[in-house]
Structures are given as C-alpha cells and as structure tokens.
C-alpha cells in the first residue's frame, strides 16, 4: 500500500506530555477493511484515519485494531477460537490467521509512520498466552516503555497461544480494555462503522442513538443486544459491550464514534464535542 | 508476493518426533534479499528455500532470518544500534526499521505457509528487551510451547527496546545462538551467500573453503576475519563467528552452507553430506 502524502507535523514529545494519561484507541475491523471481501483493506479509510490520529496530537496514545476481513474469515474457517482439535490443517490455519493479521497490521503501521506517527507494532501472540480465551498477563510494562520514549504502541486482535485451549483468538476489544485498565488510561475511543450505541438495531430502521450512557445502562444494553455480524467471531456489539464494563467500572470514559465518517475519531481523541455515545461510570 | 505452487507434503507431528532435539536454521539477509537494492526481497530464493525446508521434514525446527536490504539500510541510516539520541527523526526511524522487518518477515512466513509449514512469527521486539545490545532474557518457554504443538517458530533480527540504550538492533545471529542454547538444539544450520568459512576472503580470489573446523580454529578465524559487507550493521562474518562461539562451546554443531545454491540447506537440515563448513567443539 502506498499511503497518500501526509503533511501532518511530527508529534512532539515534550517532558510535560509524558505525564498525560494515555488514550486507548480502537479501530474496528469493519472500518479498516471491507468486511465482506476477504483480505481486502479499506486503504482510503486507513490513510484518512492515520491523518486524523496525527492531527489529534494525543501525547500518549495506544492503538488497537481488529481483524475485519483479514483475521475473521480464517479464524472462523479453522475454528481457532475453540482451541486446537489436533488436526494439522487447523495448525496451518492458526499460522495463516496470524499471518493475515500481520499483513493488515503492517498496512496500518505503514500508514501511521507515513503520517509521522512513530507507531510500534506489538504482536500480541509474541508476548501473550491467554487462559481459556482471556488475557491474564500484564502488558503494561512494555507499553509504558514504548509510551515513555514517545512511541505509539500498535496492537491487534490476534491468534494467540492459550494455556487451556492450546491456542485461541484474543480480540482487539479485550486488548483495548486490558491496556486501558493496566495503564490507568484517561479515555477509550472506539471507532466503529455505526454512529455509536443504539436503543435498538439501527440496521432495522428503528435506531435511536444513545448520546450518553451510564454503567448501569450499558449493562442493560448488553443484555438486549444481539450479534450483528456474520464474520465477527469475537462477539459483535454484544461482546464489545461486555468487554467494556470493567473499564467503565474503573472510571475510564469510553467514547464510541463512527470511524467511517471523517473527523469523528479526531474529535473524539481531542475530547471535543462529537456525534457518538459517551459511556461514563455514573 | 505470490509463492509458486508448493506440492510438499504436510509436516507430520508424531509424538515420537516431539522428543527430537530442535534444529535452528538461520537464513541470511543476503540470501533472502537483494542486498544492494533497498527493500528488495529475493522472492525466488525465498520460495525455493521454503520448499527445501518443507522437503527436509525436520521434526523440530526454529527459523531465524536476517534483515538484508530491508532492516539494514534503515538501521544504518538512523544509527539504531547505538541507541536513542533523543531526536524525533530517529524515533520514527526505529519504527520504520521494525516495519521493514515485519514486511520481509511476512513474505517469508507466507512462503513457508504456502509450503504447508505451520510457521509462526515471533516478533523479537514484542517480547525481548535487550541490555546494551545483548539478549539477556530467556525465550525458550514460548519457543518450546510452539514446537510442542508442531509449529515452526520464525524469528528475525529486529529493532528492539534496550534497557541501557533505550533501543538497539538485535541481530538474527544472536537470536540463533540464544535459541539454540536455550532449547538445547541438536544443530545450527546457517545459510549464507558464500560456501562457508574460508581461510581468507574468497572475494579476493584466495579462498580455501574450510570443511571442518574446531572451536579453537573458529576462535582464531574470528581474530583474522574482517567486516565484508557495507550494509551489515551486525558485524558481517566476524560478528557471526563471535556469536557462534558460545553455541559451539555447548557442544552444538554448526553447519554453514551456501543458501543461494539449491539443495544445500535441505541437505544440511537433514544432516547429509553437503559442501560447507562444519564447526564442532573438538
């Protein structure tokens, strides 16, 4: 991929900025890929988002992206999430799933660097062993090291080793929340393809965007929501809401915005007024 | 990169094979890239080597590759090995160097998977923090997990965090030896662009290939050899020899072969008679 020219200024790394609490940004797989076309990156979206991230000038930023049409179809085909079934074909599928994620990650990394963002990829499978699909290890030490230097850690949903299942899928959403809690993040910004959380499924034409939401309301929404995507093996919006609860409980504000619409991610990163759903503890 | 069709059989993962001691294979940067053309992979060589590795059917294999014209020019341009100089441009260069290595690694990974080798990339910078350019941490636990399942860990020389220098370059050669020692490897096979070690520089037309070499002779060679490549920031052949000493001291046999010539890597992996240099403790 050749990213478009990006004239954004280099991120400053002043000493005062190192004291800022980090923001954790999630770029949804549906935003950065064409979800219905396997292995198809949405390059214009990736380039635009890299530009928006550069423009936002967040002093301490961690980025996590999803798998979209790279990781998900393979993870589903080979049933990676459920663990190793002992067959060689699935083992090769585990390798393939990780390889697909590296391919997507590399495109995003390249676009970020092109916009003068010193992003540094951390492959979750190189450092994490999950337990029954859950992340139990701490990753904050490495992330803090990277942030302290002025780098922007870039993680992604990945096919990882698992102490109970041999291997599994670790979702980007789980990484977002773990990183945010472990780093005592100021905020989480989640960029998805919809405008935020809705009282009912907007695809059914009955959607009302929820502008602000408390922890209690979030929990209730989690019970109501259903899986909305055929490809998303990590649980779609229902899974996302369930993952977010522990972060909101810790007092971390979550902003869900439409990352397909220009400037929404940039405004959310800056903490400016933006169309979306803001979730606060109370 | 689209790898050529590879009709090699899937690697078996019989229980008996799990008892085999691993072989660590190094694919030199000069072999897998066109070293004088920045960011130029030698795709036919990568595809051929993937086929040879599949053909060799090594039950427990770890692969490490170098940076060639991907990692080295950037590492040199931004003086990454010496550590962080506090400038933003170098920080971006650190990101770029890692990104270039991911790009090369992904090509090799793809070619291996295409040949039914369940290779699994481990990004050294995601899991290792070096100390003054030296690898101090253990990586055997993760490698053993991967090997035990039947996967082929794939590592590479990388731009890594360093506890003294902030960041540095960790050479593929250092990883080869650390992995071999920590895993109690049976053998190390090093694929380079020359036929092996020479009594004097073969490029000067006075070369005599050393077919067998003891530890003592290796140490003497190390004193004589000079840096032979302009791009190799990890020390060229001199650095390679110095890195190998601790592995040979542990009794691990090292075979250096010309990976540009067909079948040499395959034969070396199988332990068959091959043109090259075999280094033994005594």
Residue range B150-188, pLDDT digits in tens: 999 999 999 999 999 999 999 999 999 999 999 999 999
A135-144, A225-234, A269-278: segment of lowest average pLDDT: A225-234
Of B13, B95, B122, the CB nearest to A120: B95
The pLDDT confidence band at residue A2, using thresholds 50, 70 and 90, is very low
Q: Is the pLDDT of residue B198 over 90?
A: no
pLDDT in tens, A76-95: 999 999 999 999 999 999 99
Contacts 24+ apart (CB under 8 A), B77-85: B80/B159, B80/B167, B80/B168, B80/B169, B80/B233, B81/B133, B81/B168, B81/B169, B81/B233, B81/B234, B82/B165, B82/B168, B83/B162, B83/B164, B83/B165, B83/B166, B83/B167, B83/B168, B84/A149, B84/B165, B84/B166, B84/B167
Cα–Cα separations (whole angstroms), residue B27 to A25, A138, B176: 37, 33, 10
Q: Report the share of chain A in percent with pLDDT over 70.
A: 86
If one compares B227 and B102, the residue with the highest pLDDT of the two is: B102
Q: What is the ipTM of this complex?
A: 0.91
A163 interfaces chain B, CB cutoff of 8 Å? no
In the three-class reduction of DSSP (H, G, I as helix; E, B as strand; rest coil), residue B158 is classed as: strand
Of A98, A118, A127, the CB nearest to B95: A118
Residues of chain A in contact with residue B149, where contact means CB-CB under 8 angstroms, are 84, 91, 166-167
Of B10, B127, B150, the CB nearest to A126: B127
The pLDDT confidence band at residue B230, using thresholds 50, 70 and 90, is very low
CA distance A142 to chain B (A): 8
The pLDDT confidence band at residue B233, using thresholds 50, 70 and 90, is low
The pLDDT confidence band at residue A3, using thresholds 50, 70 and 90, is very low
Give the nearest chain A residue to B15 (CA atoms). A86
The answer to whether the beta carbons of residues A65 and A124 sit under 8 Å apart is no
Residue A239 has a CB neighbour count (10 Å cut-off) of 18
Beta strand residue intervals within chain B, DSSP E: 23-27, 61-65, 119-121, 129-130, 152-156, 158-162, 166-170, 187-192, 212-214, 253-258, 277-280
If one compares A236 and B257, the residue with the highest pLDDT of the two is: B257
Residues of chain A in contact with residue B10, where contact means CB-CB under 8 angstroms, are 88-89, 92
Whole-number average pLDDT of chain A: 89
What are the two backbone dihedrals, phi and then psi, of residue B201, each rounded to the nearest 5 degrees? -60, 115
Averaged over A252-272, what is the pLDDT?
Answer: 97
B212 interfaces chain A, CB cutoff of 8 Å? no
Strand order in the sheet with A129-130: A129-130, A158-162, A166-170
The pLDDT confidence band at residue B59, using thresholds 50, 70 and 90, is very high
């Amino acid at each position: 991929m050749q990213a478009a020219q990006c004239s954004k200024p280099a991120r400053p790394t002043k000493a005062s900025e190192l004291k800022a609490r980090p923001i954790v940004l999630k770029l949804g797989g549906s935003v950065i890929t064409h979800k219905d076309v396997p292995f198809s990156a949405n390059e214009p979206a990736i380039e635009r988002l890299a530009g928006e991230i550069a423009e936002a000038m967040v002093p301490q930023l961690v980025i996590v992206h999803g798998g979209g049409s790279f990781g998900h179809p393979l993870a589903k085909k080979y049933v990676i999430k459920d663990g190793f079934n002992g067959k060689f074909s699935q083992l090769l599928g585990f390798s393939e799933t990780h390889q697909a994620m590296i391919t997507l990650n590399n495109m995003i990394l390249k676009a970020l660097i092109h916009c003068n963002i010193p992003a540094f990829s951390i492959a979750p499978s190189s450092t994490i062993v999950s337990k029954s699909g859950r992340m139990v290890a701490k990753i904050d030490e490495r992330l803090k090291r990277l942030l302290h230097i002025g780098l922007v850690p870039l993680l992604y949903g990945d096919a990882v080793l698992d102490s109970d299942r041999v291997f599994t899928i670790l979702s980007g959403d789980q990484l977002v929340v773990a990183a945010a809690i472990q780093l005592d993040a100021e905020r989480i910004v989640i960029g998805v393809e919809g405008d935020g959380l809705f009282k009912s499924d907007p695809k059914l034409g009955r959607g009302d965007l929820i502008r602000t939401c408390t922890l209690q309301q979030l929990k209730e929404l989690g019970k109501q929501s259903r899986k909305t995507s055929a490809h998303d093996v990590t649980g779609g919006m229902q899974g996302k809401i369930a993952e977010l609860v522990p972060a909101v409980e810790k007092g971390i504000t979550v902003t869900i915005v439409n990352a397909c619409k220009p400037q929404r991610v940039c405004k959310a990163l800056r903490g400016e007024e933006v169309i979306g759903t803001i979730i606060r503890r109370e």
